[in-house]
């Protein structure tokens, strides 16, 4: 029991040390950009996106930031919501839209592993994941188009560059940090206990049992035994799945299409296991209320779209 608690504390500390500082920077940057009145200056980049989804310009700035850091981008959304610049529905929709940059930027860790092991099929697999994320984003924007009002006058001061715009200075950074203090502290109070509970479950073996149950489900799938081994391996390790797929491809025991399908199915089935990181991440940033809604809708959309894609590929490729 002592080793479980120690492992839980170490894992929780590492996760929080990686997430909290980036989130805090995102919140402070959001406050800083608003104070400078710079939102309108970068709005043109994402204007087609925000205009279609009836989102405010702040959401576009957050979307761009999410390509560098999803936590920072979402931190900006929370700060804008706290400041009354976006409402709860807009916060929810924009948070789902912000998942797309993270998917796109997976190439930094995925492709250097996938391409050497499975060649061009790694690009195909990555492309399908980006496609799923793109469709999910477009559905979220469509939700915004129907649920949100266009041309909200609340952004008129930002669009005109007036209001609270000030000159760049160190004092402005200090003021932005001071205004962001409350939300950062609240986020830490929420994320710490949730993170500890999730990692306690992990190190107590709860998710290992879930992993074993999911691996047993692979026997029901219309794949060859070799392809099923990729699915089962993917539940435990992304690198392991690429390695197994690469060896099977090299030996001629599966086709590239079989490998991609197995990787997609493994990715889909790993959605439940990924909650170990997603729950503390979303709960910590958005709180339990909005966090549950963002996680549920985002994951639900992704699962439905992925199932549809896999069904289409099965029909076309098999």
pLDDT in tens, 154-195: 443 444 444 444 566 677 777 778 877 877 887 787 778 877
Instruction: Domain of residue 5: give its range.
Output: 1-162+169-317
- More confident of the two residues 35 and 1: 35
Output phi, psi for 177, to 5 deg.
-65, -40
Residue-level pLDDT at 306: 94
Q: Tell me how many domains the chain contains.
A: 1
- pLDDT of 112 > 90? The answer is no
Cα–Cα distances in Å, from 261 out to 211, 254, 310? 19, 11, 7
Contact assessment for residue 234 and residue 267, using Cβ atoms and an 8 Å cutoff:
yes
The span from the CA of 2 to the CA of 195, in Å, is 18
How far is 162 from 183, CA to CA, in rounded Å? 26
- Coil vs helix vs strand at 149: coil
For 30-42, the pLDDT digits (tens) are 777 767 766 666 6
Tell me what percent of the residues of the chain surpass a pLDDT of 90.
26
Phi, psi of 164 (to 5 degrees): -95, 20
Helical spans, DSSP H, in the chain: 2-36, 39-52, 57-68, 70-82, 88-97, 99-104, 107-118, 120-147, 156-160, 170-203, 206-217, 225-234, 238-251, 256-269, 275-317
pLDDT at 8: 82
User: Mean pLDDT across the stretch 148-155?
Assistant: 61
Q: Which two tokens stand for residue 273?
A: 């296991």
- The span from the CA of 140 to the CA of 98, in Å, is 10
What is the rounded average pLDDT of the residues 196-211?
69
Write phi, then psi, for 172 (nearest 5 degrees).
Answer: -65, -40
Does pLDDT of 120 surpass 50?
yes
Residue 15's Cβ-count burial label (10 Å; 0-12, 13-18, 19+) is buried
Per-residue pLDDT at 64: 87
Burial of 213 per CB tally in 10 Å (0-12, 13-18, 19+): exposed
Q: What is the pLDDT of residues 55-109, one digit of tens each?
A: 998 898 889 888 878 888 898 898 889 888 899 999 999 999 999 998 988 877 7
pTM for the predicted model, two decimal places: 0.78
255 phi-psi bin (left φ>0, alpha ψ -120 to 50, beta other): beta
User: Which residue, among 209, 199, 203, has the nearest Cα to 276 in the 3D structure?
Assistant: 199
Give the residue from 274, 261, 256 showing the smallest Cα distance to 128.
261
């Amino acid at each position: 029991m002592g080793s479980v608690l120690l492992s839980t504390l170490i894992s929780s500390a590492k996760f929080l040390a990686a997430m909290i500082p980036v989130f805090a920077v995102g919140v402070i940057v959001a406050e800083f950009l608003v104070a400078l009145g710079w939102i309108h200056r970068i709005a043109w980049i994402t204007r087609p996106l925000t205009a279609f989804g009836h989102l405010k310009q702040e959401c576009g700035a957050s979307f761009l930031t999410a390509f560098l850091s999803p936590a920072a981008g979402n931190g900006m959304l929370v700060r804008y919501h706290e400041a009354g610049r976006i409402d709860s529905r807009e916060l929810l929709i924009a948070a789902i839209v912000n998942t797309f940059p993270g998917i796109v930027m997976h190439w930094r860790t995925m492709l250097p592993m996938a391409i050497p092991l499975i060649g061009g099929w790694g690009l195909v697999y990555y492309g399908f994941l980006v496609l799923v994320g793109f469709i999910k984003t477009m559905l979220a924007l469509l939700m915004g188009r129907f649920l949100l009002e266009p041309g909200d006058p609340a952004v008129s001061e930002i669009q005109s560059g007036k209001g609270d715009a000030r000159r760049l200075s160190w004092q402005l950074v200090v003021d932005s940090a001071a205004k962001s203090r409350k939300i950062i502290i609240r986020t830490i109070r929420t994320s710490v206990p949730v993170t500890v509970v999730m990692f306690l479950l992990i190190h107590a073996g709860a998710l290992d049992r879930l992993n074993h149950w999911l691996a047993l489900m692979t026997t029901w799938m219309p794949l060859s035994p070799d392809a099923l081994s990729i699915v089962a391996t993917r539940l435990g390790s992304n690198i392991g799945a690429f390695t197994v797929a690469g060896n099977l491809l090299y030996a001629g025991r599966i086709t590239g299409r079989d490998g991609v399908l197995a990787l997609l199915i493994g990715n889909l089935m790993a959605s439940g296991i990924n909650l170990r990181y997603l729950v503390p991440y979303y709960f910590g940033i958005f709180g339990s209320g909005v966090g549950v809604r963002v996680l549920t809708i985002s994951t639900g959309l992704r699962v439905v779209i992925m199932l549809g894609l896999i069904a289409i590929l099965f029909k076309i490729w098999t």
